[in-house]
Amino acid sequence: MVKPTEEAVVTQQEPLRKLAEVRDLNFYYGRTQALKNINMPIYEKKVTALIGPSGCGKTTLLRCFNRMHDLYPGNRYEGQILLGVDQPRNLLEMDPIEVRMQIGMVFQKPNPFPKSIYENIAYGLRVRGIKDRALLDEVVERSLRNAALWDEVKDRLKEPGTSLSGGQQQRLCIARALATDPEIILFDEPTSALDPIATVSIENLIVELKEQVTILIVTHNLQQAIRVSQFTAFMYLGELVEYNDTMSIFTKPVEQKTADYVSGRFG
Amino acid sequence: MAQDSFSVKTNLPLTLPSRTVRIWRERVIAGVLFLAAISSVLTTLVIVYILFSETVIFFEKVMEVDRVSLWEALVEFFTGTDWSPLIEPLGIGILPLLAGTLTTCFVGLCVAVPLGTIAAIYLSEFAPAKVREILKPILEILAGVPTVVYGYFALLVITPVLQKIILGVQKFLLPGRNEWDYFQLPGFNMLGAGIAVGLMVLPYVCSLVEDALQAVPLELREGSYAMGATRIQTALNVLIPAAISGIAAAYILGFSRAVGETMIVAVAAGLQPKFTFNPFEAAATTTAFIVSVSLGDLPHGSFEYQSIFAAGIMLFFATLFMNVLGYFLSRRYREVY
């Protein structure tokens, strides 16, 4: 397997800053090892895509970043996920609640809470104990604008979040994740439950959002990885097979497995 | 080879009955199934019919004895505060029985709703798998205890403890009086019976609320945790609003059970109809009245006999009303997952 190369960094025009880094990460569901010795960097304000066949561990890796595995008994991490440019901290040793306050997540299926559109966005601030109405109003508007949803919902903020269409619900969930100003937003196959038109709008949104926030996205859709991401990691059977900038992964992959997968020969 | 497999096919015995026999057999089976399905509906209809017809006779007798019009009899029935159909002059106001039922139900729900909800949230969201494996069967056993046991528990344990507590509180607040100047909780009282009703309803409420919470999809739960919410924030802000229709249904079912509860109140709340909403007093509930009257020698067609149907129809309407309310509530608040 190929370790993350420094060449990938050099080929980029603009300077890259490493916001997070996965080091020697192993993860176990009970006795089954689901991730084997993962090493990869996450660059600031870039989109990193995780691709690979079903069951390869890409969603498992994604959920390590916000410690979702801690919700269920019997799961175990080894290694480090370092977050921060100057003084990196190991996410795997922090309080999970604190981790989740810095790392947002958008799920496969849109999951608005049974609350109004406004309260859905304000939820992250409310769980942090913020009650200041003016601040909440400001954050709700800013988040909805950033998620390209403001014009569609500004007159119906009091209606339930579930009254929106599927694509709108997913943008609501993105706005909800943006509201708390996270370091990284994790996307777990965010368009697999949406129709093609909604998919395009979510993809455009991801491309825009990378100006403000670092994004890690799991996708089954290789075209989507090409369209939205700057870096791609190909995973297979719990291992990171190859990591590079997206164009290199799809045009001149080093590993045979990667070449087979991106050309559609398996998976 | 082909020959062999062909011959195997033809060797299969042809036992298909004729078309007419098949059609008739299907019809008979469908008919039997229909009868089974309709039996509970028919039973309900027959019960409603008997309740209505006997209640009509009750009012006819009232009109005959008291020499009043039907309208006056109905007004007296719904607004009168004296229920004494067994002794002259007849008191036919249903309010004392309804007051007894509502008071014990209210006390019961004051116990069952908060405790049941908290226990359900604990079981569903906080309890480790092992604790849940132990607690759930215990709750289910609690639901299987015959209610007469709860009745004696109320009479022999809850009421004496309440008597001590109430006396102690009074002595603490107003010390230095004669023993008999303090308020004494009577041996039969609606408070103790209501608490026992609450304990009896608790497992149902808890189990139904827990089911409602468990039915909330995993994505919603994870979505809340992913925002940095704690377990209790998730439970209160996301899961309860998401499960509100199931929770409302659980409360209403608990209320229906409390209204229909008979043995506990007959044993522990007293058998004397009295128009009061004070839980510290003894008063008969609708069900307690029915069971106490029907236990005696009751000549068929006597006024006493008719009176239990009039009381029964009130129970019927109370539970019907609650069930309809529950139906509309759950439709009103139904969440689309």
User: Which residues lie across from A75 on neighbouring strands?
Assistant: A29
* Contact call for residues A47 and A206 (beta carbons, < 8 A): yes
Q: What mean pLDDT comes out for the span B283-307?
A: 82
> Looking at beta carbons, which residues of chain A come within 8 Å of B244?
114
pLDDT for A93 equals 92
Distance CA A65, CA A182 (A): 12
pLDDT over 70 (residue B43): yes
Q: Do A68 and B217 touch (CB under 8 A)?
A: no
pLDDT tens-digit map of A4-15: 544 444 455 667
Among the listed residues A144, A118, A161, the one whose alpha carbon sits nearest the alpha carbon of residue A205: A144
Taking all residues of chain B, what is their mean pLDDT, rounded to a whole number?
Answer: 86
Q: Is B185 in the same domain as B251?
A: yes
pLDDT for A10 equals 46
Does residue B209 belong to any structural domain of this protein? Answer: yes
The answer to whether residue A162 neighbours chain B at the CB level (below 8 Å) is yes
Q: Is B68 in the same domain as B120?
A: no
| Residue A64, burial from CB neighbour count under 10 angstroms (0-12, 13-18, 19+) | buried
The answer to whether residue A124 neighbours chain B at the CB level (below 8 Å) is yes
The answer to whether residue A104 neighbours chain B at the CB level (below 8 Å) is yes
Mode of pairing for the β-strands spanning A75-83 and A231-236 = unpaired
The answer to whether residue A192 neighbours chain B at the CB level (below 8 Å) is no
Q: Is B127 in the same domain as B204?
A: yes
Rounded to the nearest angstrom, the minimum Cα separation between A239 and chain B is: 25
Mode of pairing for the β-strands spanning A239-245 and A75-83 = unpaired
Q: Is B43 in the same domain as B153?
A: no
pLDDT confidence tier of residue B71, bands split at 50, 70 and 90: confident
Does residue B200 belong to any structural domain of this protein? Answer: yes
Does residue B50 belong to any structural domain of this protein? Answer: yes
The dihedral of CA B79, B84, B86, B87: what is its sign?
A: negative
Rounded to the nearest angstrom, the minimum Cα separation between A55 and chain B is: 19
pLDDT over 70 (residue B334): no
pLDDT over 90 (residue B82): no
Distance CA A173, CA A155 (A): 18
Greater confidence, B64 or A59? A59
E-only strand ranges, A30-178: 32-43, 47-51, 75-83, 89-90, 103-106
pLDDT for B261 equals 87
* Contact call for residues A92 and A77 (beta carbons, < 8 A): yes
* Contact call for residues A181 and A13 (beta carbons, < 8 A): no
Q: What mean pLDDT comes out for the span A108-129?
A: 93
Residues 6+ apart with CB under 8 A from A58: A50, A51, A52, A218, A233, A235
pLDDT for A116 equals 93
CA dist B176 to A125, B162, B168, B170, Å? 56, 21, 12, 10
pLDDT over 80 (residue A251): yes
* Contact call for residues A196 and A152 (beta carbons, < 8 A): no
Residues 6+ apart with CB under 8 A from B95: B78, B79, B80, B81, B83, B275
* Contact call for residues A156 and A180 (beta carbons, < 8 A): no
Q: Is B158 in the same domain as B289?
A: yes
The total number of structural domains in chain B stands at 2
Residue B332 neighbours by CB distance under 10 Å: 10
* Phi, psi of A121, rounded to the nearest 5 degrees: -70, -40
Q: Do A162 and B238 touch (CB under 8 A)?
A: no
Does residue B86 belong to any structural domain of this protein? Answer: no
Give the pair of three-digit tokens for residue A30: 């009970």
Rounded to the nearest angstrom, the minimum Cα separation between A63 and chain B is: 10
Residue tagged 């510290």 (tokens): B280
Q: Do B223 and A113 touch (CB under 8 A)?
A: yes
Greater confidence, B196 or B294? B196
Residue tagged 């808890």 (tokens): B206
pLDDT tens-digit map of A193-246: 899 999 999 999 999 999 999 999 999 999 999 999 999 999 999 999 999 999
* Contact call for residues B187 and B280 (beta carbons, < 8 A): no
E-only strand ranges, chain B: 83-84, 91-92
pLDDT for A13 equals 62
Q: Do A111 and B219 touch (CB under 8 A)?
A: yes
pLDDT over 50 (residue B2): no
Does residue B69 belong to any structural domain of this protein? Answer: yes
Q: What mean pLDDT comes out for the span B15-29?
A: 88
Domains of chain A by residue range: 7-262
H or E element, residue A215: strand A214-218
Q: Is B34 in the same domain as B124?
A: no
Does residue B1 belong to any structural domain of this protein? Answer: no
Q: Looking at chain A, how many residues does it have?
A: 267
- Residue B226's identity, in one-letter code, is A
Q: Is B116 in the same domain as B242?
A: yes
Q: What mean pLDDT comes out for the span A101-118?
A: 93
pLDDT tens-digit map of B125-175: 999 889 988 988 888 888 889 999 999 999 999 999 999 999 889 888 888
> Looking at beta carbons, which residues of chain A come within 8 Å of B332?
none
Range of the domain at B264: 93-332
Q: Is B115 in the same domain as B185?
A: yes
**Percent of chain B, pLDDT > 70?**
93
Does residue B244 belong to any structural domain of this protein? Answer: yes
Q: DSSP assignment, residue B296?
A: S
Give the pair of three-digit tokens for residue A143: 């988040």
CA dist A129 to A143, B137, B229, B285, Å? 18, 38, 11, 48
Give the pair of three-digit tokens for residue B164: 């001590």
This complex has an ipTM of 0.89
Q: Is B75 in the same domain as B126?
A: no
Q: Is B112 in the same domain as B218?
A: yes
- Supply the CATH classification number for the domain A7-262: 3.40.50.300
Q: Do B128 and A73 touch (CB under 8 A)?
A: yes
pLDDT for B308 equals 87
Residue B43 neighbours by CB distance under 10 Å: 10
Q: Is B173 in the same domain as B254?
A: yes
Bond from prior residue into A112 cis (ω within 30 degrees of 0): no
pLDDT for B332 equals 64
Rounded to the nearest angstrom, the minimum Cα separation between A260 and chain B is: 33
Residues 6+ apart with CB under 8 A from A251: none
Distance CA B107, CA B139 (A): 20
pLDDT over 60 (residue B44): yes
pLDDT over 80 (residue B51): yes
The dihedral of CA B77, B82, B88, B89: what is its sign?
A: negative
Q: Is B47 in the same domain as B101?
A: no
Q: What mean pLDDT comes out for the span B71-99?
A: 84
Does residue B2 belong to any structural domain of this protein? Answer: no
Q: DSSP assignment, residue A160?
A: B
pLDDT for A202 equals 93
- CATH number for the domain that contains residue B142: 1.10.3720.10
